[in-house]
Homo-oligomer: A and B are copies of this chain.
Amino acid sequence: AIVAAVEALLAGDSGTTTTAKPLLGKHVLVTAGPTHEPIDPVRYIANRSSGKQGFAIAAAAAAAGARVTLVAGPVGLADPEGVSVRRVETARDMLAAVEIALPADIAIFAAAVADWRPAHEAGSKLKKDGSGIVPPLHVTENPDILSTIAHRRDGRPGLVVGFAAETDDVLENARKKLGRKGADIIVANDVSPANNVMGGAANTVHLVTPEGIESWPQLPKDEVARRLVHWIAGRLPPTA
C-alpha cells in the first residue's frame, strides 16, 4: 500500500490509488459470471463467462471503500475479501437476489446472463430413445435484469451500469443497448473468440454514455476494474 501510494503521488493521479476511498458509505451491487439454465438434472444452457471481470470489479469497489454485494453465477472463484457474496444459478435466481440486495447507490451488471432458458425443465435425465431423432429444444426468454432494474420507478440505483458482450458492431450495439435498457453507462467489449476475453486475463473496454464513448486500451481485468470503479465514482450524482 505504501509503494502504491508513493507511485500514485509520483504519478500525480490520486484518483486511482488503492488508498483513495471515493465510495466510502456507498452500497455497490455487482453481478458476475454466467447463469446456468437447466434442461434436466444434468444438462444446461449457459453463456461463456469466467466471472473474472465482475469479481475484480467487486474487489475494486470494496477497496474503494464501498459496502459491496456480489451476486455471482456458477464460477470457480473465491469470494473477494470484504465482499458479501450471494451464489445463484439461473437468471431468475439472479434477478431475485439482486432485488433483495437493493437499495444500492450503484449497480454494475457484469454477469453474462443467459437470454433464454429451456421452456420446460425435465425432472429426470432425458434419455436418447434410440431413434436418432432429437426433438427440438423449446426455449423462452429470461427476465432482463439490467432493464428491469434500470426501469424501476422506486428504488432505482443512482447509477446503473450494464455490460455488452458483443461479437459484431460492438459500439453500435452498445449504444442501442444504452437507450433500450435504460442504463446510465454501458461497458462494451468485443468477445469474439480471437480476442480471448472470455476466460482470459485482459480486456479492452469502451465506456458508452449518453455523452459519448470513451475507449480504453487493453488492460488486465484487475486494472480495468480499478479504473472503472473510480471512473464510475466520479459520475455519481451528488444526491446519491
Chain A residues at the B interface, C-beta cutoff of 8 Å: 39, 41-48, 76, 112, 114-116, 124-125, 127-128, 132, 134, 136-141, 165-168, 173, 191-193, 198
Contact = CB atoms under 8 A, between A and B. Distances in A.
25 contacts: A39-B45, A41-B191, A41-B192, A42-B47, A42-B48, A42-B165, A42-B167, A42-B191, A42-B198, A43-B45, A43-B48, A44-B45, A44-B48, A45-B45, A45-B46, A124-B168, A125-B165, A125-B167, A125-B168, A125-B191, A134-B139, A134-B141, A136-B138, A137-B138, A137-B139
Contacts of A168: 124-125
Given A128-B115, A141-B134, A167-B124, A46 B43 contact: yes
B39 A43 contact: no
Contacts of A138: 136-137
